[in-house]
A and B are shown apart, each in its own frame.
Chain A
Amino acid sequence: MSTPVFSPLQRTPLFDLHVSLGAKMVPFAGYEMPVQYPTGIIREHLHTRERAGLFDVSHMGQAFLDGDDPARALEQLTPADISGLKEGQMRYALLLNDSGCIKDDFMAARLEGERPLYLVVNAGTKESDFAFIAERTHGAAHLIPQPTRALLALQGPKAESVLSNHAEGVAELGFMRVRRLTVAGRPAIVSRSGYTGEDGFEISLDAGDAEYVARVLLADPDVLPIGLGARDSLRLEAGLCLYGHDIDEGTSPISAGLAWVIGKRRKLARDFPAAEKIMAELFAGTSRKRVGLKLADKTPAREGAEIVDGTETIIGRVTSGGYSPSLGQPIAMGYVATESAADGTEVAILVRGVPRAAVIAPMPFVPHRYKRKSGD
């Protein structure tokens, strides 16, 4: 890697590979990242749904949280049931600020036979998340960021067969399960998880092994490299939130429709940030809710577009929107007043000042195809 000392943008260990594959590189969360390859976003998107795509997500923040009881320490900052994580299990969780709003969304996992928890947080928030976790768990746990680890995501219906050619034990791993495995001869932490709604894996590697493993996976005829453009359209179709857009430090987990993240035990104990407020919202509801939207015609509605009701009163705003390559029509996600949030409600979205007919639609827009194993 040849990062200039004064470069304002960081590079992942796969930078040279992206450039050699003809990627269009753009700044994203402080990194130079591939937004698309010569294949193009629509074909990259469809290929991931039909076969398998390889994503570089090394910009995300990986860390271990060690201590006598790191799960208990982390539970001060999240409503998820972290102590209840079984060995080899991973869970989607929210990091909450003191007002009970979403500081970040992240993954927490307990590896078999290991005391430290393995965490993966968003790229754009990793510095502040790590500082927050370190400070708030001080004395009870210590955070060990892993800035030199790379992260690949292999997603799509062919992901299992592709990865099985280079690693043992892949097929046995159920959705949201995690294990240390050897991938193409290199040590890796492999979880059956992702951000596309497809079956797939996330593969954490030492930086020095990342390009080799990526090249091995890309050599499979079922695999194409996929950029951030398709990553965004895939996750939008899957109804998954993008931090900083669909959820942020002003969003409550309840209005975001993420109440399922709160562990049963945690609901009873009410021992997470702003628990009383969040539990009250859970029972009484919130004034606005995150919803899916399908537009009637072909005009995409983008982030920030206002959502109006039949009387052209503003009832909400789009937080993510674009074209769905799988459905061939524009889709969006946003927040609307709860009384207008029921599926099938007819609304309009103002695009360049013109109201465009839309309907509140259930999410995911494209069904998830996760591989759950019995007992999970």
Chain B
Amino acid sequence: MEERFTESHEWIHLDGDIATVGITKYAADQLGDVVFVELPEPGKQFKAGAEAAVVESVKAASEIYAPIAGEVTESNSALTADPAKVNADPEGEAWFFKMKLEDASAAQKLMTKNQYTEFLKGL
């Protein structure tokens, strides 16, 4: 499975033309205690970079962006029930939504794990 990252700290796991999207550990640590997530309904279409979900910590609300254009196929209802999972396992259990990509090759423009690690060093 291919893994990609965005500058707005989303991770994407690619499985064919299905992408699973979440936020990185760095983002979860920056947010602090997550108390609420708002997830997109299946069937919703997003352009790349569109606001797709909202994550709220005690302090503030932050947007999660669709890294690549596509249609939502599933969202993680376990997160709605227990938003603290975002802090506990941000890059595993706490995925936000899955989408069917219009063009899976668009993921090649996003950062690899190594590139993202380098990117974080520059922040």
Residue from the list A24, A232, A233, A300 in contact with B36, Cβ < 8 A: A300
Q: Is the CB of B56 within 8 A of A323?
A: yes
Please state if A41 and B58 are interface contacts (CB–CB under 8 Å): yes
A322 lies within 8 A of B59 (CB): yes
Contact of B59 among A41, A299, A325, A330 (CB under 8 A): A41
Q: Are B36 and A325 neighbours in the complex by a CB distance under 8 Å?
A: no
Contact A323 B32 (CB under 8 A): no
Task: Check if B60 sits within 8 Å of A323, measured CB to CB.
Answer: no
A interface residues, Cβ below 8 angstroms from B = 24, 35-36, 40-42, 45, 229, 232-233, 298-300, 302, 322-323, 325, 330, 352
CB distance from A299 to the nearest CB of B (A): 6
For residues 36 through 58 of chain B, which have their beta carbon under 8 Å from a beta carbon of chain A? 36, 38, 54, 56-58
Q: Is B33 an interface residue (CB 8 A)?
A: yes
Q: Within the complex, what minimum Cβ distance (angstroms) separates A354 from chain B?
A: 9
Query: Knowing A41-B59, A42-B58, A233-B58 touch, does A300 contact B33 (C-beta < 8 A)?
Result: no
Q: A325 touches which one: B38, B56, B58 (CB < 8 A)?
A: B58
Pair B32/A299 contact, Cβ less than 8 Å: no
Q: Are A229 and B58 in contact (CB under 8 A)?
A: yes
- Residues from chain B with a CB closer than 8 A to the CB of A330 are 35-36
In the complex, A298→B57 CA distance in Å?
Answer: 12
Given A40-B32, A41-B32, A299-B38, do A323 and B58 touch, yes or no (CB 8 Å)? yes
Interface residues of B in 1-39 (CB under 8 A from A): 32-33, 35-36, 38
Q: Which residues of A contact B60 (CB under 8 A)?
A: 302
Task: Choose among A36, A232, A300 the residue that contacts B35 (Cβ–Cβ < 8 A).
Answer: A300
B-side contacts of A298, CB under 8 Å = 35-36, 80, 83
Chain B CB within 10 Å — which of A24, A45, A323, A352 has the most? Answer: A323
CB distance from B31 to the nearest CB of A (A): 10
Of the listed residues B33, B56, B58, B60, the one surrounded by the most CB atoms of chain A closer than 10 A to its CB is B58
CB nearest neighbor in B for A45: B58
Q: Which residues of A contact B87 (CB under 8 A)?
A: 40
Nearest chain B CB to A345 CB, angstrom units: 24
Q: Which 10 A-B pairs have the closest CB atoms?
A: A323-B35, A41-B58, A42-B33, A40-B33, A298-B36, A41-B33, A300-B56, A323-B58, A41-B32, A229-B59
A355–chain B nearest beta-carbon distance, Å: 14
**Partner pick for A229 among B32, B56, B80, CB 8 A cutoff:** B32
B36 touching A323 by the CB < 8 A rule? yes
A35 neighbours in B (Cβ, 8 Å):
59
Collect the chain A residues with CB atoms within 8 Å of residue B59's CB: 35, 41, 229, 232, 322
Q: How far apart are the CA atoms of A40 and B57 in the complex, in Å? A: 11
Residue B61 CB within 8 A of the other chain: yes
Verify A322–B38 contact, CB threshold 8 A: no
Query: For the complex, what is the distance from the CA of A41 to the CA of B36, rounded to whole Å?
Result: 14
